[in-house]
Every structure is written in structure tokens, then in C-alpha cells.
Structure 1
Amino acid sequence: MERWFSRITMFWMLFLGEVQSQDWTKCSTGCTCDGNKMSVTCNGLKNVPNDIQKDAKKLNLQFNSLSKLSPTAFHGLKELTYLDLDGNKLQTLPIGVFDQLVNLADLRLNTNQLQTLPAGVFDELKNLETLWIQQNQLKSLPPGVFDHLTKLTILGLGSNQLRSVPDKAFDKLSKLETITLDTNDWDCESCDILYLSQWIRDNGNKVKISNTNMDDPDGVTCQGTMESVNKITKENTFQAGCPTTTQQMATSPASTTTTETMTVREKQTKPRMKIFQEELFSKASIFFCQVIFTQHVSLVVIHILAEIPLLHIVCVVRKP
């Protein structure tokens, strides 16, 4: 009898110890947990619960009513590998909010209201492989925002309001296999588009249609036209008006900045065909005038040419 009682006592001690270690009886308010609490799904929330178990691997917060996140919302969740924030109302991300998610491999931010991304917001996500930020309101990206994501294979930027990306924005993404860029407001009248244009030409097999795995480098089009961004080059867009990179523009000598900037801005506001026509006419008229003066044509001819006002002005003003 004593031996039987001893065994029953030991069984209950082991059972209670297991229950305490696994904490099976508790899950965050508004959330459901799987059998061993490795996966947590929450619904109907306006704030991220502060008592999510520290050993959770997956956290699904999609289709809640989250309009903002605390900078420490996910601190302590170092085991998390999957975080889904799709379908919320987030307008911005606080600096440092993801800094402790050192094992995160999959981050989803689709269908929110994000207008900006803070610099360095993804810097600590060294193991991130998938990043979706589609269907937001991003107008620009901070320089270097993806530089630390050296394991990233999928990047979704489709259906935003992006006009350009920073110079070298994707250069550190050596493992990238899939990127979506369609349905943005790409500004092909700006010199800033040249980096993206060249990058798409060099990496066309990585550019996919959103929500598919089909290659579509030509589907990334300029705002207001069906012209593909990858067809835009320095030669056929601004001729000599654009520097080789946007970085060169920023580091140009101060003495020439004002004049060169004015020239670029003037050209940016004109249609490309008009620029070409004006420059072609200017070169032709100068050549014509040089021929006239070289042959010592009399001023009578010059006055006859006055019937063509622009030629008259060019030739008379340029006459030695």
C-alpha cells in the first residue's frame, strides 16, 4: 500500500511539473494556441498582447485592428520565425520594433497603410528570408533599408506609390530570387529612375508579377504610360542631362551645382521628344550659320533668312 501511494504521488508530481513547464492552460487573451503553444493566432485586437509566450515560433496577427505598434511589442520573442501583420491599419513602424527577432525568417506587412519605413527598421533581421510589404502607401524607401538582409530571397514591393528607389537599393541582396515592383508610380522623367532601370535589365528573371511566380520584367511600367521602366536609359531619356548615378549628382562641385541642377530640372519638365527636337534644331542651325560665315555669304542672305526668326537670331548673334 505504501509503495502504491508513493508511485501515485510521484506520478502527480511529474504531471504537475510538466504542466507547469509547458503552461498548457494559458494563452494570451484574444488568442488561440496550438497544443504546445509554438503557434499563436490572435483576432479582434487593437494592441499586441504583452504576455505572448517567449518560446512561440509563429505569431499570426493578420486582419486585426492594429493601427500602431509599441517599440517593444515583440521584444523577448527571440524564438519567433514567422510574423504575420497583414491586413491591419499600420501607418508606420517604430524604430527598434523588430530588433530582438533575431531568428525571424518570414515577415508579412501586406495590406496596411504604411507611408514610410524608418531607417534601420530591418537591420537586426539577419536571418530574414521573406519580406512582403505589398499594397501599402509607400512613396519612397530610405537609403540602405535592405542592406542587412543578406539572406533575403523574396521581397514584395508591388502596389505601393513608389516613384524611385535609392541608388544601390538592392545591391546587397545577393540571395534574392523573387521581387515584385509592379503597380507603383515609377517616375521615368527623373534621373533617379536610372538605377532601377539598369537593375531590372540585369535581374529580369527575378522580377515577378505580384501573387504569381511568373517573370515579368517588362510589367514594371512608368507612371501614366505603358512604357517599361527597363527601357529607360540615360541616352534615350535625358541624353547628357543625367549624371551616371544619383550619388554623382549629390557630390558634384558646388561651383557648378546651381547651373547643372537648373538644366536637369528644366529637362525633367519637358517631354523627351521636345528636348530632342530643340537640341537637334540648335545643332543644325549652328552648323548652317558656320557654313554661311565660312563662305563669306553677304548680309543680304542673312536678311533673307530673317523670314525664319530663329535662324535670323542665331546667325546674326553668332556673326563674328
Structure 2
Amino acid sequence: MERWFSRITMFWMLFLGEVQSQDWTKCSTGCTCDGNKMSATCNGLKNVPNDIQKDAKKLDLKYNSLSSLPPTAFHHLSKLTYLSLSNNQLKSLPPKIFDNLSKLKELYLEGNKLQSLPEGVFDKLAELKTLDLQNNQLKRVPEGAFDKLTELETLYLRDNQLRSVPDKAFDKLSKLETIILADNDWDCESCDILYLSQWIRGNGEKIKTSNAGYTDPDGVTCQGTMESVNKITKENTFQAGCPTTTQQMATSPASTTTTETMTVREKQTKPRMKIFQEELFSKASIFFCQVIFTQHVSLVVIHILAEIPLLHIVCVVRKP
């Protein structure tokens, strides 16, 4: 009886193993699958396969010819922990393309033609540890783009066209260990660069070279110069055009009081200047008109001499 039970158990184990193996042998066209590692690697594709195994944990789509992605391309792959779309021809991403990938830990998007990122495109990737966006054409990063990535350890932004990043762009990345920012168009003549400059000064050990091997906070340089972004401050670069630290702290009572005081002063100063200008113009016009009418100069001559149509009206109104 015991021997019979062992044979049945072995049979079922072999059968279930064969079923699983058969599932993974039905790999998508253009892909190779590894059932043990639950991974699929695809080459020579122009479109994302729609029959990738649902229990796949790794999907490698790098070095294909993907130019666009369906909005739900990966929504059935909720177990993915690794996704590479590197070195394709992607120009944009659908807004909710990664929404079901809550277990994803590595996302590689480098080597595409991305010019922008949709608002909140990474918000559902709460377990993400590596995000690679280097070697694209990104001109800006949306506000709050990385705020939900509280587990992120590595962020690659190298070799894009970024001129600045939004205020507090990296403040929520408490576990960040490595960030690569070199080879962008950092605009050090703009006030917007001040946040990045200050952030680099406070997180110098996280700023790495292109190979992520060496710390190099001075390697992030201004566009057109070799000056380091972390050397840029309001005091040594800008004049009155950039907001002070006090003005930036809009939530503090002290800064609010300061702002309100400045506003009141401006309101008090500008009317006085305006009144002075009006009075000066009024007195000058009266004097000029009196001279004109005393000498019996016609209004036609006034137009010719003054070449100011408004003077005609002023003098007509003030004519004795």
C-alpha cells in the first residue's frame, strides 16, 4: 500500500511538473523562455507580445524595435520584478503603463527617445529599487515624479537634455544610494538650478560617475562650461532675480510675515511714485499750454511741434 501511494505521488509530481514545463515551452514568438527562472527574453520585435506567461518574473525586451507601447501592455504581468525596455525607439510612455507592476524592483528605460514623462507614471512602483532613464531626450522631470519611490536605491538620469529639476525632486528618496546626473544641459544661469545645486552639496556621496563606481559631486557641470553645479549659489552667481531662502519657505509664519510686509511696502511706494509722476506731468502740461495759448499758437501748430496727439487733448481741455 505504501509503495502504491509513493508511485501515485511521484506520478502527480511528474505530471504537474510536465504541465508547468509545457506552459513555458509555449513561449511567445521571438522570445526564449526559462521556466526555472520564470523569465522571457525577446528579440527582433516591433510590438510587445500579448501572450507572455502571466507568472513571469523577468521580462527582457531590450534591443528591439519598439516605438510605442499599448497602455495595458504589462497589466497582466503583476508578478514581474524585472523589466527592461532599453535600447528601443520609444518616444513616449502611456500614463498608466506600469500601474499593475507593484512588485517591480528594476526598471530599465535607457537608450530610447523619451522627451517627457507622464505625470505619476511611476507612482505604483512602491518596491522599485533601480530606475534607469539615462541616454534619452528628457527635457524636464514632472513635479513629484519620484515621490512614491521610497525604496529607490539607484537612479540614472545621465545623458539627457535636462536644464533643471523641480524643487524637492529628490527629497522623498530616503534610501537613495546612487544617482548619475552628468551630461545634461544644466542651466546655471537660471534660478531653477538652485535646488539641484544645494541638493548635490548635501548629498555628495550619492553622486556617482557614469559607471556608478566613483563618487564625483563635482562631475555634474553647467551647460557650456566646466563649472560644477554644486558651486552655484545665489550669492556668487545671481543678483536680485532669484528668491531668497526666506521667500522660498512660504509655509513658515516668519516668511509669511516678511512677504506680507514687502507687499504692503510695495503698495505704499508705488502709488506715491505714480502720484508724483502725474503731478509732474500735469504741471508741465499746464505750463506748456499756457505758453502756447498766450502766444496764440494754433492747435495745428501744437500737433506739428509736439508730435504727441495726447497734448492736443490736454491743451483743449485746459484752454482758458
Same fold (TM over 0.5): yes
Length, aligned pairs only: 252
Matches of 1:138 and 1:6 in 2, distance apart?
63
Matched, 1:207 2:202: no
Identity of aligned residues (%): 67
> What's the secondary structure of 1:198's corresponding residue?
helix
Report if aligned partners of 1:24, 1:36 keep a CA contact under 8 Å in 2: no
TM-score, normalised to structure 1, is 0.73
The gaps in structure 2 that reach 5 residues or longer are 251-255, 267-320
Aligned CA distance change for structure 1 residues 184 and 8 (closer, same or farther; 3 Å): same
Does the CA contact (< 8 Å) of 1:24 and 1:37 recur in 2?
A: no
Tell me which residue corresponds to 2:177: 177
In 2, the alpha carbon distance for the partners of 1:24 and 1:199 equals 47
Alignment of 1:1-320 (within 5 A): 15-22=14-21, 23-36=23-36, 38-244=38-244
**TM-superposition CA deviations, 1:54-103 (whole Å, max 9, x none):** 11111110000001111101011111101111110001110110010110
Q: Is the 8 A contact 2:178 2:212 kept in 1?
A: no
How far off its partner does 1:236 sit?
1.0
The one-letter code sitting in structure 1 at the alignment partner of 2:182 is D
TM-score (structure 2 length as normaliser):
0.73
* C-alpha displacement of 1:244: 3.2
1:25 is displaced (CA, Å) by 2.8
Aligned partners of 2:199, 2:8: CA distance in 1, in Å?
69
List per-residue Cα deviations over 1:218-244 (Å, max 9, x = no partner). 111110011110010011111332013
Distance 1:57 1:239, change over 3 A: same
For structure 1, the residue ranges without an aligned partner over 5 or more in a row are 260-320
CA distance in 2, matches of 1:222, 1:26: 52
* Pair 122,226 (structure 1): closer, same or farther in 2 beyond 3 Å: same
CA deviations 1:10-58 (Å, max 9, x no partner) are: 9766644432344243111110011436011000001110010111111
Greater C-alpha radius of gyration? 2
CA–CA separation in structure 1 for the residues paired with 2:230 and 2:4: 79
Deviation of 1:247 (Å): 6.1
Distance between the aligned counterparts of 1:207 and 1:13, measured in 2?
A: 54
**1:19 corresponds to which letter in structure 2?**
E
Please tell me whether the aligned partners of residues 112 and 135 of structure 2 are also in contact (alpha carbons under 8 angstroms): yes
Q: For residue 278 of structure 2, what is the aligned residue in structure 1?
A: none
Change (3 A) 1:16 1:139: same
Distance 1:47 1:238 in 2: 49
Q: Deviations over 1:236-288 (max 9, x none)?
A: 11133201369679x989x97xx9xxxxxxxxxxxxxxxxxxxxxxxxxxxxx
Q: Is the 8 A contact 2:133 2:157 kept in 1?
A: yes
- The answer (yes or no) to whether the contact 2:24–2:34 under 8 Å persists in 1 is no
How far apart, in 2, do the equivalents of 1:19 and 1:132 lie? 37
Residues 192-219 of structure 1: per-residue CA shift (max 9 Å, x gap): 0000000000001100111231111111
Structure 1 residue ranges (4+ consecutive) displaced by more than 2 angstroms after TM superposition: 4-22, 244-249
Aligned mates of 2:146, 2:131 — CA distance in 1:
10
For residues 203 and 9 of structure 1, the distance between their equivalents in structure 2, rounded to whole angstroms, comes to: 62
Q: Which amino acid aligns with 2:226?
A: M
CA distance in 2, matches of 1:182, 1:49: 35
Cα distance in 1, alignment partners of residues 211 and 63 from structure 2: 19
Equivalent residue, structure 2, for 1:299: none
